[in-house]
Amino acid sequence: MPPRKKTERIAPPAKSASAVPGKAQTINDIARLAEVSKKTVSRVINQSPLVHKETRDRVEAVMREFNYTPDPFARGLAFRRSFLIGMVYDNPTAQYIVNMQYGALDAIRDSGFELVVHPCDSRSPGYIDGVRRFVQQQKLHGVMLVPRVSEDQALADMLAEIDCRYSRIASVSLDQASRMVITHDRDGAAEAADYLQSLGHRDIALITGPSSYRSAHERTAGFVEALAKRGIELPRERVVEAGYTFESGVASAERLLAGNQRPTAIFAGNDEMAAGVYKVALRAGISIPQELSVIGFDDSPLASRLWPALSSVRLPIRDMGRIAASMLLAEPAAASALAAASVRPHLIVRDSCQPPAR
């Protein structure tokens, strides 16, 4: 190799023919300017250790100088893999989705990756094929699975089969650690139960989400078990299964609040249903929290908009999204570490509870 002057090689080119720093360069330009082969430039792009430090510095300086970023399509074509991560979800609430997206975006910021969204309908028969096409067509680097699709083992199996990396967000572990973000809904529900018990409530009712949802199961179990631990039983008639919707919350509250033998507190499996309880109580002239304490789950914006402001169990959704996306970018080992630093829900106390009157 011909000797090469090592200092001051990179003559700063006439900067800014336009206001925008030029951006049109290719790997060939960088290679020429840095006086190396394009393969070497490729190595520094991909952070190969097999590059002499001085060479690397020189190449990096040129890349910075020209504001160079490699073309994702050329890389995608050669790698047979894109720099896109997908978020697959099935119709949870808007706030949930948006926060999850923000979290994912936090994780991929300045990484060169972008987020592609894929809502779907897990009840429609072809939905798994739809995800498969999405993944294969776009050669996705990986996908985040948000509840409730995250609970669908058939989906996960399909992804494993086509060798697509994924991360699952769910209330309990459903997969190997490096693929799971566990939300521990159970603990949050237990916190709600403890709080109600500490206030002095004994006659408590529960509106659960649909039993087909893992989160509903966990929230219910956490709540019931925590109460049991404190010596409070939940009679069968004080537990109503609903659909996580406002309307189902209304219907459940109507059942629970009919007659004289009302519970002094209601825990709803999410805020939507808690809002339904509010509606029924307000309409019936039952004042919250004087005559009825209410707790929700999710800490959606709704919770603080209601009056009196609803105490609710907050899930750190944005963090969940950030971690799930990070796991997709990280090496398996690092992904497991991320999983370990897992998220915990906690109760946000507002104005919807007080000790029972009687």
Partner DNA sequence: CTGAAAGCGCTTACAG
Which residues of the chain form contacts with a copy of itself (CB under 8 A)?
20, 23, 69, 71-74, 76-77, 82, 84, 93-95, 97-99, 101-102, 105, 112, 114-117, 119, 132, 134, 136-139, 246, 272, 275, 278-279, 282-283, 301-302, 304-307
Helices (H), 94-184: 94-108, 127-138, 153-161
For a copy of itself, which is the closer residue by CB, 106 or 194? 106
Regarding 234 and contact with DNA (CB under 7 A), the answer is: no
Q: How many residues does the chain have?
A: 358
Regarding 329 and contact with DNA (CB under 7 A), the answer is: no
Q: Which does 49 bind (CB under 5 to 8 A by kind): a copy of itself, DNA, none?
A: DNA
Q: Which does 112 bind (CB under 5 to 8 A by kind): DNA, a copy of itself, none?
A: a copy of itself
Q: DSSP per residue over 10-48, as a string?
A: -------SSSSPP----HHHHHHHHTS-HHHHHHHHTT-
Q: Where are the beta strands (DSSP E) in the chain?
A: 84-89, 114-119, 142-145, 166-170, 180-182, 204-208, 239-241, 265-268, 293-298, 311-314, 346-348
Closest contact distance (angstroms) between CB of 193 and a copy of itself is 25
Regarding 74 and contact with DNA (CB under 7 A), the answer is: yes
Regarding 5 and contact with DNA (CB under 7 A), the answer is: no
Q: Where are the beta strands (DSSP E) in 224-354?
A: 239-241, 265-268, 293-298, 311-314, 346-348
Residue of 64, 77, 129, 176 that binds DNA (CB under 7 A)? 77
Number of H-type helices and E-type strands within the chain: 14, 11
Do residues 30 and 66 touch, judged by C-beta distance below 8 A? Answer: yes
Half-sphere exposure of 112 (CA within 13 A, CB side): 14
Separation of alpha carbons 298 and 96, rounded Å: 9
For a copy of itself, which is the closer residue by CB, 139 or 255? 139
Give the count of residues interacting with DNA (CB under 7 A): 31
Closest contact distance (angstroms) between CB of 175 and a copy of itself is 22
Residue of 10, 32, 75, 93 that binds DNA (CB under 7 A)? 75
| Stretch of residues binding DNA (CB under 7 A), selected from 43-51, 102-110, 182-190, 258-266 | 43-51
Closest contact distance (angstroms) between CB of 31 and DNA is 7
Q: Which does 258 bind (CB under 5 to 8 A by kind): DNA, a copy of itself, none?
A: none
Separation of alpha carbons 323 and 343, rounded Å: 9
Closest contact distance (angstroms) between CB of 55 and DNA is 3
Residues paired with residue 182 on neighbouring β-strands, in sequence order = 170
Contacts with DNA, residue ranges (CB under 7 A): 1, 24, 26-28, 36-43, 45-46, 49-52, 54-56, 68, 70-71, 74-75, 77-80
